[in-house]
Structure 1
Amino acid sequence: MGMTPPYLIEVKDLTMHFPVTRGVILQRRVGTVKAVDGVSFQIKAGETLGLVGESGCGKSTTGRAILQLYRPSAGEVRFEGVDLTRIHGEQLRRMRRQVQMIFQDPYASLNPRMTIGDTIGEPIRVHRLRVGKGAVRERVEELLGLVGLNPAYANRYPHEFSGGQRQRIGIARALAVEPKFVVCDEPVSALDVSIQAQVVNLLEELQDKLGLTYLFIAHDLSVVKHISDRVAVMYLGKIVELATGVKLYSMPIHPYSQALLSAVPIPDPKVEQQRRRIILEGDVPSPFNPPDGCHFHTRCPIALEQCKQEAPPFLDYGDGHSAACWRANESGSLMPEVAKQ
């Protein structure tokens, strides 16, 4: 028997480039959008890795490339030691049982012409997990109860549910094939704050009950702090910092991480009034033409000439806290207030 891999998911140098073409009949390639540009990380079984960053930094593309919804341009994605980028056809279809996704928009991710019973039951029938309508129906009702919905709702259509209920349906659909790994693609960003807490708590309960492993993608750092064991910070297609939630939120190394954390409100008026916000100047550069050197140097308040010319290596600074910054040993002075929280 072979040894069990130390990680459930291993992503190495994952790259997702989209060609940009011009012309209608005779198309020619004029450039490349570097949505994901050499991303690497690992996730242990039962762990939640949070992936944060501004809109457009490549978070959702990373999640879709891991699940092979986009076939990566380069790199490896190993699930239990099997490289998903190298399998096709029936082998990939069988592997999809183990890796599922909860989509961001609970309104667009459900077919309005299908009842939720048919929606949740479809993957069960496709993968032949239950035989017969009665068995599928029983499993659908079980899943609805698992996510906190009345099993009698199986005959209703998506438009009859609220946003939070639709997201619970999306969660039930993802769990229908009994996966081990789930990509949660901003599952609460379209919901009210009170509903967000309910969905996050549900995801945690399901993780404990079913032994799930999550990649939790979000831009709300407060939500990520609550649910994640480790957090990866992404900027313009690259991961710039990776650490445990405690380390990242108490002592961020990268200036971009510090800027993101400075924008998180603190529920203490006195502390909130005294602390200094880091306001990043300029817009995020286009992934069509990213800057040379460190991608963040165009907005970084402590950038050196070296930052403009040479990309910093991704180094481990102890206790699993890694970052890619030429001024990592001194950038902590940029935001001392955050380090104290």
Structure 2
Amino acid sequence: MSAVSVSDSEIAAAARLLEQGQLVAFPTETVYGLGADAENPAAIARIFAAKGRPSNHPVIVHLAPDADLSHWVAAIPAQAQLLIDAFWPGPLTLILPRAPHIPAAVAGGQDSIGVRCPAHPVAQALLQEFKRGRGGIAAPSANKFGRISPTTAQHVRDEFGSGAIAAILDGGPSEVGIESSILDLTRIGTHGPLLLRPGRISVAQIGEVLGALPGLPDAQAPRASGTLDAHYAPHAPLVLVASATLPQCLEHLAQAQRRVALIHWSALDTTNAQRVLQLPPGPMPFAHAMYAAMRQLDERGTDVILVETPPQTIAWQAVNDRLRRAAFGSTGTLASLL
């Protein structure tokens, strides 16, 4: 999965730093995580401080493939085991009842906890070395709260500089490029499984394993990572524009002498955009490149980042989810620029 080699000594040093309560950024197949000892409340607090993240917003605990899940959760329903057997290691997070002895800080004060087993070889090596494979690493994405998730080690360096993070393990670009699917199983008897966040593991794949599609969350669903209305956002306003109206929109912005960056996937006239990135037209390759493209175009002097709206199909569900949240705070931007 990774073209970049991380030495055994680097893995061992990073594990020791985690055991000392420090923060370590590391690659997963989804995005880079900002890791801390999931059983150390002081270390978890360092994550929240470094990210500027609200303390009631839970983080996901990453576990080694052979970890004892019962140490972390109070119950493992049959549906959870089916999903674990089908998708772990991989980009699926399960929300389960938190074991009472696990610090509430990692769950944002809730009685539930998010757990997953990452597939990236560097993440797995780190988890096997940390506490001899019996620890968990709490790791939200390694970026400031609400901003674009990092898919390379350089993105993490750009985001934090030096000081807050004790070590960054460079495992190359993340393969998936967007965060894990999150499935709530805490109310399985009354509500069934609920999809809190779409990702590479699709609702169809989950439904095939469980025999029924997961439902949508209600107001009582647990809080989960990356599910706020505004998230994954660049500094410049990001606006989604339909393919049919993009050329006219670009022309109007050019007439208003606005500096425009554009991410698109179809063949169209991009003459009136100052900076342009065309991403692959398929949902998985688009997702892989999306965050890096947003970071590349998000520079001082850009008035707006336009993104050609992807197809509104189930295959694009995760991409559209991230773009909708990235654009949430930009309502009214085009009107103000024209």
Same fold (TM over 0.5): no
TM-score scaled by length of structure 2: 0.30
TM-score scaled by length of structure 1: 0.30
Higher strand fraction: Structure 1 or Structure 2? 1
Higher-Rg structure is: 1
